[in-house]
């Protein structure tokens, strides 16, 4: 309240205001967001189903199905669809067809198709295949970094720096991910300061957006709040995204908390594709359908057509011969 003139401060007793302006009460009460919380008017959904989702599905999906999935998603209004990952097929067999996928999809105007590029080799392959946006993956946990990509956080940052610098030269935007932002399957609790340190590094290196991932879904609104408070000291809210896993059912309240904190980019996966490699049989990514249902119910715009996303979910679940993880899809499919 530092910049508010003293006259306004004087007016700020509720009774005084209503006395002076009787019309104000009705106007205020008609406002949508009268819960003491503010929410962004628009939330950008980053659809990670084709990459993060399929990567964690046991069945290897044919290239044609991947392409069809992405093409269908392109017709839903989603602004960003993570298409594939230029990692070595030795590590991630599901993504072995990355070049064919990127070349095969029909790129809708106004839709972006970032791809993962863990190192220079991957970056070069991605660019050769026509990538116009890339993403790099850091971790807030040393142990996770070592076990996942076989190097320390610092070493990974050096690798990414190379990618980011080259990407800058070619005017290719880079998104940064921080995994284990709310807990690590090996280390357990992760200090919020560690998350902000990694987020800051990625942001300062040149990532335009940092997606903070609750990799094992252990976070709650309590830990989400603390983590975001720490990160927001280093990275502005408009450059942040949340990537919540629903392994413990906490994704939607965690996303809600992030929105209340001013975050307006949310990662999700159609049909909640992608299990959790650390809790066998459990769910992983939050379902795009369920996120959309919540956001639209709150009057938040996304530009995405929920009914079309449900159709896409049906398609990929049929192709994978599995049930959807989306509760909205389950309910809509069977409503009497």
Give catalytic status of residue 276 as yes or no: yes
Nearer to other proteins, 39 or 160 (CB): 39
Beta bridge partners of 135: 116, 175
Beta bridge partners of 212: 178, 242
Helix (H/G/I), strand (E/B), else coil: 2:
coil
Nearer to other proteins, 130 or 188 (CB): 188
| Dihedral, 187, 135, 248, 227 alpha carbons, nearest 10 | 60
Tell me which residue has tokens 């499919």: 333
Does residue number 328 form part of the binding site for other proteins (CB under 8 A)? yes
Burial (Cβ within 10 Å: 0-12, 13-18, ≥19) of residue 14:
exposed
Mask: binding to other proteins, 6-25, rule CB under 8 A, as x and -? --x--xx-x--x------x-
Only one of the segments 29-37, 88-96, 112-120, 190-198 lies at the binding site for other proteins (rule: CB under 8 A); that segment is 29-37
Does residue number 318 form part of the binding site for other proteins (CB under 8 A)? no
Binds other proteins (CB under 8 A): choice among 237, 305, 308, 315: 237
> First vs last Cα of the chain: how many Å apart?
52
Q: How far is the CB of 95 from other proteins (least distance, A)?
A: 25
Round to whole Å and give the CA distance between 91 and 79.
Answer: 29
E strand or H helix at 300: none
DSSP line for 238-282:
GGEEEEEB-TTS-HHHHHHHHHHTT--EEEEBGGG--B-TTSTT-
Does residue number 248 form part of the binding site for other proteins (CB under 8 A)? yes
Binds other proteins (CB under 8 A): choice among 85, 257, 268, 302: 257
Nearer to other proteins, 111 or 286 (CB): 286
E strand or H helix at 199: helix 192-205
Q: What angle do CA 94, 304, 74 make, to 5 degrees?
A: 45
Binds other proteins (CB under 8 A): choice among 260, 268, 288, 302: 260
Mask: binding to other proteins, 198-227, rule CB under 8 A, as x and -? -------------------x-xxxxx-x--
Does residue number 232 form part of the binding site for other proteins (CB under 8 A)? yes
Which residue of the set 180, 244, 264, 276 is catalytic? 276
Q: Provide the phi-psi class of 75: left if phi over 0, else alpha when psi is between -120 and 50, else beta.
A: alpha
Q: How far is the CB of 18 from other proteins (least distance, A)?
A: 9
Helix (H/G/I), strand (E/B), else coil: 171:
coil
Only one of the segments 32-40, 122-130, 142-150, 159-167 lies at the binding site for other proteins (rule: CB under 8 A); that segment is 32-40
Does residue number 287 form part of the binding site for other proteins (CB under 8 A)? yes
Round to whole Å and give the CA distance between 247 and 254.
Answer: 12
Does residue number 229 form part of the binding site for other proteins (CB under 8 A)? yes
Nearer to other proteins, 20 or 169 (CB): 20
Active site residues: 276
């Amino acid at each position: 309240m530092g910049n508010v003139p003293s006259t306004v401060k004087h007016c700020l007793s509720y009774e005084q205001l209503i006395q002076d302006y009787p019309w104000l009460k009705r106007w205020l009460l008609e406002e949508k967001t009268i819960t003491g919380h503010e929410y962004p008017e628009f939330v950008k959904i980053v659809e990670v189903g084709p990459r993060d989702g399929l990567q964690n599905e046991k069945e290897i999906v044919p290239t044609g199905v991947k392409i069809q999935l992405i093409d269908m998603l392109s017709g839903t209004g989603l602004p960003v669809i993570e298409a594939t990952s230029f990692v070595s097929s030795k590590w991630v067999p599901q993504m072995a067809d990355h070049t064919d996928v990127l070349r095969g999809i029909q790129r809708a105007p106004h839709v972006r198709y970032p791809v993962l590029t863990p190192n220079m080799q991957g970056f070069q392959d991605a660019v050769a295949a026509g990538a116009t946006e890339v993403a790099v993956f850091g971790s807030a946990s040393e142990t996770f970094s070592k076990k996942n990509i076989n190097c320390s956080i610092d070493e990974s940052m050096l690798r990414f720096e190379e990618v980011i610098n080259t990407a800058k030269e070619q005017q290719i935007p880079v998104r940064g991910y921080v995994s284990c932002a709310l807990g690590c399957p090996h280390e357990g609790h992760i200090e919020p300061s560690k998350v902000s340190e990694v987020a800051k590094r990625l942001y300062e290196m040149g990532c335009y957006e940092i997606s903070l991932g609750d990799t094992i879904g252990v976070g709650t609104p309590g830990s989400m709040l603390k983590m975001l408070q720490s990160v927001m000291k280093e990275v502005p809210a408009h450059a942040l995204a949340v990537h919540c896993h629903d392994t413990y059912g906490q994704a939607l309240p965690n996303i809600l908390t992030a929105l209340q904190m001013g975050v307006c980019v949310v990662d999700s996966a159609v049909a909640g594709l992608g299990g959790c490699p650390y809790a066998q049989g459990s769910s992983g990514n939050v379902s795009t359908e369920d996120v959309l249902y919540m956001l639209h119910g709150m009057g938040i715009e996304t530009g995405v057509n929920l009914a079309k996303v449900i159709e896409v979910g049906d398609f990929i679940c049929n192709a994978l011969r599995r049930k959807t993880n989306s509760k909205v899809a389950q309910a809509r499919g069977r409503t009497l």
